[in-house]
Structure 1
Amino acid sequence: MRPNPERRDSLPFQNKASGNPGEWYLGDTPENLSGSRRPVLFIHGFNRSSDTWYEGNDMYVTAYESGYETAFIDVYPDRSMWENGALLAQKIKDIYQHFGEKIVVVAHSKGGLDTQVALVHYGADPYIERMITLATPYYGSQLADLAYSRWGSWLANILGSKNEATYSLQTGYMNRFRSETDSQPNVYETPIYTLAGTKWGRFGSSLYWGGLYLRAYGSNDGAVTVKSSRIEYATEIQAGEWNHTTIKEGSSTFDVFKPFLQEEAAFFANREAADTAHVVQNPEACNYVSGGAFTGTTNETIYVEKGVHEMTVNWLSDQADSHLTLIDPERSTYPYFTTGQDAEAFFEGAYHHTLTIHNPGSGSWTLEASSVQKEHYLLNVSFASPLNALLSTALSNEDRHVTIKTHNLEFQTDVTIDYYKNGKLQFSDREASQASGSFEVPDLGEGMYNMTMNIHGSYAQQPFRRTIIQSVYADSHGNLY
């Protein structure tokens, strides 16, 4: 069962969504339709299309069998929430006029941001009864920061994943977006209800690696943290055991948010509203990150301090047949990596080569890589270690400084900055000036400052390395977000 496109003529339905931005489709009218059930418009997320709701997903069938009229729309898969929001505002009015009543929007991931722009900035609120968001990154995703970082850019450029959508999902950009949006007087007009996921994908998958990387920032679904999926004036329905893909599947979540599709849902939800205010929390230093390009062979050194419970090595590459061998300090070798292709937005199309070592010996490990052709890669080593909680960062808006916070650790840090204006790279690998243990964000004008902090030092008399990546947006007045 597939939805039918809204037609103004008698041409037969081609049984396939076109993917053309702005085109919308109607599901079949259910026999058990009830007047108390609002029509539901499903809006897809970043780098997807409307068929994400019914190709390999039972969301449409579940909604139909539950007696709901449905509609589906395609938006630009790789553009910012501003462009998609303007498009949605126009089309949502058309969909409202078709049904003759307000609709409920169910949006996955970035689709929730696209819809909020339509609501708040382009006047779509008279046509929407309420919005339910599934893992929407209201405060961005640190995976977008990684894609625009010194180390991630090598691979993201080759994959074509540095686009308007990824750029706008950097956490610094989204903090600026929140400032612009949450201050609008109509932001409370349409009730918002949220779901968040706490599970990752299978071992070796993109969502498993994403979960490892994002655990430095708290519980997450492999792409978006629970904290980012919350917004203080919305009601959280549930943070459950879904990953970023299963949270949009009908058999997983429809029955969870179904009570909030009813006309009386707002009254019920307000009585049960949870405190879901976004709490800013300094990330733990769980990751070591490197990257680059090579032909032939290359080596990466991985320092493991004492007390590491688990180490997961993820070699993310544009090559499926990378030849990798991990060598421990005793010269034992570990050549058996699990390989899987990335199916998510930020590094879609790349290959994950993953290996986990439990209770790794401390000291210097070597990762040997060989390739017969030029290979672009991003190395992420995730540590489960007591050291992680001893390192964090703090940004001062007053003096434009980022400070590395530690607990009696001996360490050194080098910080490089990639500066973007209107999505275009202006400066790369610019070293940040240091004074009294903090680093200054240079005043190069309005734009995005993507900071890569490489930290190396000693813990329990063993060397360690960690990487913290942070994006900062500076507006035209010099305010930092």
Structure 2
Amino acid sequence: MRRWLSLLLGLVLLLATAPGRAGAVAARGGAGVPASPAPGADGLTARSGAREKPAPPRRLQVGGSGAGSTAGAAGTIWVGATPPGWDPATDPVVVFVQGLNGRAENWWTESVYYGRNDMYDLAYWSGYQTAFVDLYDSDGNPGSMWANGALLASQIRTIADYFGVDTVSIVAHSKGGIDANAAIVHYGAAPRVDRVVTLGSPHWGSPLADLAYSSWAGWLAELLGARNDGVYVLQTGYMEYFRSLTDHRAEDRNVQYLTGAGTRWGPFPSALWLGGLALSAWGQNDGLVPLWSARKPGAAEIFVRDLDHDQIRVGRYTWHLFEPYLRAAGPSSQPETGARAAPPGSLPEGPGAVSPASMAPGAESEQMILRGGYGTAIIETIPIEGGVGEVHFQLLASHASLTAWVVSPTGQRHDLVHRGTSSHLEVLPGARAYSARVTGPAAGTWTLHIQAGAPVAYLAETLLKGVGATATLAADRLYTPGQAGDLRLDLSPTARKGKLQVRATLRPVLPRGTPGAVPLSFEVEGEGLRARPSLPAPGIYLVEVTVTGTLADGSPFERSLVRTVAAAHPGDRSPEHLQRLGP
């Protein structure tokens, strides 16, 4: 017995002194990629060294700028402290790239909802040399992927030369992943980058960017400055154009891309949560980016987790999920088909290489009614059909000096509660968010009331859940100038039994300003309707469709649908190409 107790004690001591994460190799495939570790309290991995807090990143003197600023202007490069034992011959340099409206300091200062971001700390403790960049968004002027990509390519070369390494790895949040893609493929950074990890990046754009250029959001987007180059290129039509210029290039295939995505909307009832609710019509999302958009063509998907768009960039939530891939062997050769090979070894989770066919947006079925405008004493009518499970009334406003409520057809009042302000993460940053939810709403005409102390710009979204009647708009998103568009409007059987009318418009989208719209006609084709509008000139075109009428039970019905499509000459990628519009 004494001998067995001694053996048991020895085993306990052995387990107690073992490292927190063994250098295990994924069971499928073996060499190269460690299995995804379970996070510790701080998300550290086996490379974690000394636990002293690293010195704050310092600003590298580029172009005459010096240290001493807490926020960088566009083009600024910050370098993190060098961890003990770091060897440029064997250890990676990781460049962290900001997202839309972001700054380099977002990687080591306060997040929007989750306290201080410890991504820099965890990278340092795990033995990584880090660098951080400020793109044009840092100046308050969000840039396109063309402007940011050119700047980032220059910064990547400077960082690699400074640390004496041939290549760097990139970790990019949100639109930073698209900026990195542009730098690599279109601005010569491919030889200096070995892999890119994107966290919640909208590789196919965001329907919220389409909405920002709609007539309903016009007043609000203009007042908030949300119609800028950064949002303009995130329209789904524009991103389809970008993908057509990028995905087939050898520069893209020779760099390894890894994606991570979230499916949480954000803390309830934050503005990010409300964004997720609005986006739920397009499927799972992280409050800003749909899951299908976070999947880059040909990339390996390394995780999909219950994380929101703010949370996914915070170190303690995701560092342990992607860090093993930063130390994997270099990218393997890629198939000629354009599909990305999986990273060396096997993925700890996820489907591995993702093909474009598995992610491209198809027909969306958003059951939404939109209103928007500007004023002080506002009343909007909102028709709700019978049999709706619940309805969410959402209001985004340019200021908070207002009260808002809805009144049911039976006279019951429901106040819209102020939920907070949209953060810099979002397409409409600075908008004040209000909402109310009604279960089993009465059928008939509801009214939205807004009483403002000063003129207010607003976007009102009514989201219907648990409906029997649906309207679905599908569209191919990329055409050549002169080619007829192809838009398909499908109505569910319940909707087709009603007496409905379709109003639709088509207009070119400028980065700023709103050109005139032209009517768009849908013709009956089979059990649906089809429109083939003329797209005469290169550009982004916005389609707005409103379906109104009554259902067979006599209750009112309405849906609002928004899409963007692109017309572009193949191969023309000049930054202003799709901004020069006209016949």
Q: What's the TM-score once normalised by structure 2's chain length?
A: 0.77
TM-superposition CA deviations, 1:317-345 (whole Å, max 9, x none) = 11212211211121111125133111133
TM-superposition CA deviations, 1:15-42 (whole Å, max 9, x none) = 6232x11110110111253664311100
* SS of structure 2 residue aligned to 1:143: helix
CA distance in 2, matches of 1:289, 1:93: 46
* Matched letter for residue 4 of structure 1: R
Question: Is the contact made by 1:315 and 1:378 (CA closer than 8 Å) also made in structure 2?
Answer: yes
Identity of aligned residues (%): 32
* SS of structure 1 residue aligned to 2:516: strand
* Matched letter for residue 70 of structure 2: K
Residue in 1 that maps onto 2:107:
53
Residue in 1 that maps onto 2:335:
none
Instruction: Pick which of 426-435 and 42-51 moved more.
Output: 426-435
Instruction: Pick which of 391-400 and 74-83 moved more.
Output: 391-400
CA distance in 2, matches of 1:8, 1:376: 41
Residue in 2 that maps onto 1:330:
410
Alignment of structure 1 residues 70-81 onto 2, 5 Å: 70-77=130-137, 78-81=142-145
CA distance in 2, matches of 1:195, 1:246: 12
CA distance in 2, matches of 1:136, 1:256: 16
Alignment of structure 1 residues 63-462 onto 2, 5 Å: 63-77=123-137, 78-101=142-165, 102-264=167-329, 266=331, 269-270=343-344, 271-272=346-347, 274-277=352-355, 278-295=359-376, 297-343=377-423, 344-387=425-468, 390-395=470-475, 399-408=484-493, 409=496, 410=498, 411-421=500-510, 423-425=511-513, 427-436=515-524, 437-459=529-551, 461=553, 462=555
* SS of structure 1 residue aligned to 2:515: strand
* SS of structure 2 residue aligned to 1:368: strand
CA distance in 2, matches of 1:445, 1:30: 54
- Which structure would you say has the larger Rg? 2
CA distance in 2, matches of 1:118, 1:92: 9
Instruction: Pick which of 1-10 and 335-344 moved more.
Output: 1-10
Residue in 2 that maps onto 1:6:
60
Stretches of structure 1 that go unaligned for 5 or more consecutive residues are none
CA distance in 2, matches of 1:288, 1:9: 50
Q: Are 1:465 and 2:465 matched, yes or no?
A: no
State the shift of 1:265 in Å. 7.0
* SS of structure 1 residue aligned to 2:543: strand
State the shift of 1:464 in Å. 1.8
RMSD over aligned CA atoms reads: 2.3
CA distance in 2, matches of 1:49, 1:177: 24
CA distance in 1, matches of 2:91, 2:108: 21
Task: Sort the Cα spacing of 1:353 and 1:280 in 2 relative to 1 into closer, same or farther, 3 A.
Answer: closer
Instruction: Pick which of 362-371 and 430-439 moved more.
Output: 430-439
State the shift of 1:12 in Å. 7.8
* SS of structure 1 residue aligned to 2:154: helix
* SS of structure 2 residue aligned to 1:419: strand
Task: Sort the Cα spacing of 1:10 and 1:464 in 2 relative to 1 into closer, same or farther, 3 A.
Answer: closer
Question: Is the contact made by 2:231 and 2:427 (CA closer than 8 Å) also made in structure 1?
Answer: yes
CA distance in 1, matches of 2:159, 2:66: 20
Residue in 1 that maps onto 2:91:
37
State the shift of 1:150 in Å. 1.1
* Matched letter for residue 457 of structure 1: G
Question: Is the contact made by 2:94 and 2:129 (CA closer than 8 Å) also made in structure 1?
Answer: yes
CA distance in 1, matches of 2:448, 2:65: 59
* Matched letter for residue 269 of structure 1: P
Q: Are 1:25 and 2:78 matched, yes or no?
A: yes
State the shift of 1:206 in Å. 2.3
Question: Is the contact made by 2:208 and 2:288 (CA closer than 8 Å) also made in structure 1?
Answer: yes
* Matched letter for residue 85 of structure 1: G
CA distance in 1, matches of 2:321, 2:399: 40
* SS of structure 1 residue aligned to 2:343: helix
State the shift of 1:451 in Å. 1.3
CA distance in 1, matches of 2:530, 2:430: 37
* SS of structure 1 residue aligned to 2:474: strand
* SS of structure 2 residue aligned to 1:386: coil
Q: What's the TM-score once normalised by structure 1's chain length?
A: 0.93
Task: Sort the Cα spacing of 1:205 and 1:106 in 2 relative to 1 into closer, same or farther, 3 A.
Answer: same
Stretches of structure 2 that go unaligned for 5 or more consecutive residues are 1-54, 111-116, 333-341, 573-577, 579-583
